[in-house]
Structure 1
Amino acid sequence: MGLAKLKKAALILPRIEAQEAVSKLAELEWFHPIQTTSEHLNPYFDDLLLKAQRLFQDIDEVIRALGIPLETGVMVTMFKGAPKEKTDYVIEDIQDFIADLEDKSKAALDEPKKILAEQNRVTKELEEFSNVEVALKMAADLNLDLTSFARLKMFFADMFVIDSKDEAEIRKSIGDLPLYSNKLSEDKTSIVVIGSADDSEKIIKVMRSFGVHPLQIPANMPQNPSRAYSQAHAKVKELEAKSAEITKNVEKMKSAILSKILSLHEAARVAKDVLEITRKPGGTEHFALIQG
């Protein structure tokens, strides 16, 4: 028994007639429809579109992080003139075009990504140490090791920084438990409350009702408020200087890569848009394609 010769056929027809055509073709035992879950006429475009979308997003994120405008403003054009650099692309194959853009973007974005990552790290550290500095500022004159409170087994003791005006009310709320206060400023007072281990929940609840939490110092810092504040203050100054230096470097880098990165951004957007246009039913809104 010989083998039947098979050929691939494509039928393009108005969408309104597609259902009837499918029914008719189903009656033909020798017609085998090609099933595909792809959104594209050619599944090969799926991978290309994904690459183009990732490439565009990668470039776009760097541009936004650097604060580079996608279009030159009127005032900038008036005073500095329109950008003179231009990049020409000759596209023979969309796959090679995307591969070329990937190589160029990798080289162009490597340094900006490193600087942005460093900027984010410094900004995060600066925020953390600034918060610690602010929290400990009022207690900077206290020469006390807070870890001594944590070592208590039968008793509970903790330090709080409160509004001075609330001290009398707090004393009433905790009853006859020992409370030692130290005036930090006109508005702030530090207090140490001592009680049995069973009193800990009551003390914490009372303090929370006044919006106050125990004074805490990060574990990687000295647990002495005075020493911790000095360390945090010095670190904030160091990070502020580093942040200013990075900001200057970012501005220099923006000027150096402006034309190149905008060119890559536009090219990646065009590649992405071209591949998205090939989507079904894009371009064939009123027609259907049946393959088998």
Structure 2
Amino acid sequence: MFYPTLKSAVKVGVAPLTKVTLLLPRSELNDCLRSLFEFEWFHPEQPESSTADPFLSDLNGRAFKLFATLDELVKKLGIPLEPNVLEVIGKGYRVEQDVKSAKDWADLIQRLEAEAAPIIDTLISLLEDTTQLRKKISDYAALKAALYTIQQFSIDLDAFSRFKRFYIVFAVAAIKDVAEIRRSLPEVFIIECSLTKNESALLVVGTRSDADKIDKVLRSFEVKPFMIPQDLPQNPAAAYDAVVKRLEGAEKLLADCEARLEEMKVKSSTKLLSLREAAHVAYTTISRLRKAGDLRRFAVIEGYIPQEKVEEFKQKYSSYLIFFEESKHSNQPTLMVNKRPIKPFENITLTQGAPRSGEIDPTPLIAFVFPIFYGIMFGDFGQGLVLFIFGLILRLRGNPSLKHWGEIIMAAGASATVVGALVGECFGLELGSLPAIGDFFKRFQLLHLVEHGGFNI
């Protein structure tokens, strides 16, 4: 769908389009794409071709890779693409524009990659460090909780593996299972020490020939031998102290890393959004034009332009072979042409889909009927006035999309205000009963006029 506003002889409705086909040398394809993008009114269409231009395919892949990387970083950092409505109302809509200049699409993508590379590398490094530190902290916290229950035991777990004739296992089991474990291993020596209300520490001592039986019985009760990582002291008390120190150190490193990440986010958020948008424009534009026909030395570009732009298009691209065709295709794009008072109501039309070529654009009818029906259904002088003021704020302070919705809300609020005055209602109260202004509004109340047969002046 076209987005620019067309100053056409067609005042309202769907503008007629012309299908255009350009035939040009492939050596001039890159320059032509740049020129078509500057023309604005050209809506590209993929020709019926299975062959993609290698040069454009490479540019398309690079642009998509850059966009995907930047988009992922923006999401991970939680950078909003647009300020929310409350921020717009409070601070206004301020967007710092970053102008990008390049000779052609290849030069633009190369410049974007060069500008984005240091930012991407720094942010990815910080995000990876943050992820690794959080995993370490999670592992240390789980190990600390496990060691906390057995830190009172001053034993060397590593020494158990050095016994040749005995098989010794240190484990933590549920108290309710200890008696059953004893009955299952009558010939094995078991020492129990209560840790909490529900858990006990077990020291199981048997001969080497009993090793398989001991392991099977413990596994049947979902009891695993307690193991301390080899990079920690094998004494539970010493291991607990070491884990606490490591946990504190990791938390300090994480706090420092998150602070640097937040600083980088504040510093680079505008640049990130600018680069992301430029990469997205490059990707979406090139992806529409990368299939340039099956001819080896010539490229074929197809698309649509407004009928009134045909002569301008002919003059601008007279060096190429041009074919024009009156557009009557069912899948052609739509160019809606409506002037300022009606144009905002295109948002309501588009909620049900854009009208196709040859169909009637209902926007002018919606612009007339919608405010009237809203006022009839929700007629209230006070609420309508509040709604009108809210729409005015959006109109003055919002982004381009919110400005249009602000105008719609203003029209609905104005209609509700007028109808509210006619029926004499203000925030659910009778308008004529309000002090100071009640007598004035009574003169215009619709029900009052009906009762008295005309204006009571």
TM-score (norm: length of structure 2): 0.51
More displaced stretch, 214-223 vs 122-131: 122-131
Name the counterpart of 2:74: 63
For 2:117, the aligned partner's letter is K
Which residue of 2 is the match for residue 113 of structure 1?
124
Q: Which residue pairs with 1:172 in the alignment? A: 183
**Change in 2 beyond 3 A, CA 1:218/1:80:** farther
2:108 — aligned with what? Answer: 97
Q: Which has the larger displacement, 232-241 or 98-107?
A: 232-241
Q: Tell me the CA shift for residue 221 of structure 1.
A: 0.5
Specify which of 225, 230, 244 is matched with residue 214 of structure 1.
225
Partner Cα distance (1:83, 1:258) in 2:
14
Q: Match for 2:207 among 196, 199, 211? A: 196
Q: Partners of 1:138 and 1:39 in 2: how far apart?
A: 67
Distance 2:111 2:232 in 1: 49
Q: Check whether the contact 1:139–1:184 (CA below 8 A) recurs between aligned residues.
A: yes
Q: Distance in 2 between matches of 1:60 and 1:215?
A: 44
TM-superposition CA deviations, 1:20-70 (whole Å, max 9, x none): xxxxxxxxxxxxxxxxxx965321223222221221222222222222223
Counterpart Cα distance in 2 of 1:244 and 1:104 = 28
Distance (Å, rounded) in 1 between the aligned partners of 2:55 and 2:201: 69
- Determine the C-alpha separation between the residues in 1 that align with 2:109 and 2:295: 29
Cα distance in structure 2, aligned partners of 1:168 and 1:64: 54
Match of 1:139 in 2: 150
Q: Secondary structure at the match of 1:127?
A: helix
Structure of higher RCO (CA pairs closer than 8 Å, 6+ residues apart)? 1
Find 1:158's aligned residue among 166, 169, 172. Answer: 169
| Residues 207 and 213, structure 1, Cα contact 8 Å, conserved in 2 | yes
Distance 2:222 2:92 in 1: 56
**What fraction of aligned residue pairs are identical, expressed as a percent?**
32
1:230 aligns with 2:259: no
User: Cα distance 1:40–1:76, how it changes in 2: closer, same or farther (>3 A)?
Assistant: farther
CA deviations 1:62-94 (Å, max 9, x no partner) are 222222223322233334433331112234311
CA shift at 1:152, angstroms? 2.0
Q: Which residue pairs with 1:269 in the alignment?
A: 280
Matched residues in 1 for 2:202 and 2:125: separation?
46
- The answer on whether the counterparts of 2:181 and 2:218 sit within 8 Å (CA) in structure 1 is yes
- TM-fit CA distance, 1:145: 0.4
Query: Structure 1 289/220 Cα, relative in aligned 2: closer, same or farther at 3 Å?
Result: same
Partner of 1:72: 83
Does 2:52 correspond to 1:41? yes
The SS at the match of 1:106 is helix
Candidates 84, 96, 99, aligned match of 1:85: 96
Identify the residue that residue 244 of structure 1 maps to in structure 2: 255
1:137-166 residue CA offsets vs partner (Å, 9 max, x unmatched): 211111000011111223211100112222
Q: 1:134 to 1:289 in 2, by over 3 A?
A: same
- Aligned partners of 1:140 and 1:225 also within 8 Å: yes
**CA-to-partner distance for each residue in 1:118-151, whole Å, 9 max, x for gaps?**
2122112112211211221211111000011111
Q: Report the TM-score when normalising by structure 1.
A: 0.78
Q: What is the CA-CA distance between 1:185 and the residue it aligns to? A: 2.4
Larger mean Cα displacement after TM superposition, 39-48 or 156-165: 39-48
Assess, with a 3 A threshold, how the Cα gap between structure 1 residues 123 and 190 changes in structure 2: closer, same or farther.
Answer: same
CA distance in 2, matches of 1:274, 1:61: 21
Please say which of residues 138-147 and 75-84 is displaced more in the overlay. Answer: 75-84
- Partner Cα separation in structure 2 for residue 132 and residue 55 of structure 1: 40
- Distance in 2 (CA, whole Å) between partners of 1:71 and 1:263 is 12
Structure 1: how far apart are the matches of 2:185 and 2:86? 65
CA distance in 2: counterparts of 1:228 and 1:97, whole angstroms: 56
Give yes or no for contact 1:157–1:195 (8 Å, CA) kept in 2.
yes
**What SS does the corresponding residue of 1:60 show, helix, strand or coil?**
helix
Contact 2:232/2:239 (8 A) holds in 1: yes
Q: Distance in 2 between matches of 1:249 and 1:78?
A: 31
8 A contact 2:53–2:290 mirrored in 1: no
Check the 8 A contact 1:40/1:278 in 2, yes or no: no
Give the paired residue count.
251
On the 8 A contact 1:173/1:206 being kept in 2, the answer is yes
Q: In structure 2, the residue corresponding to 1:149 is in which secondary structure?
A: helix
Tell me which amino acid in the other structure corresponds to 1:201. Answer: D
Runs of 5+ consecutive residues of structure 2 not aligned to the other structure: 1-24, 27-48, 298-457
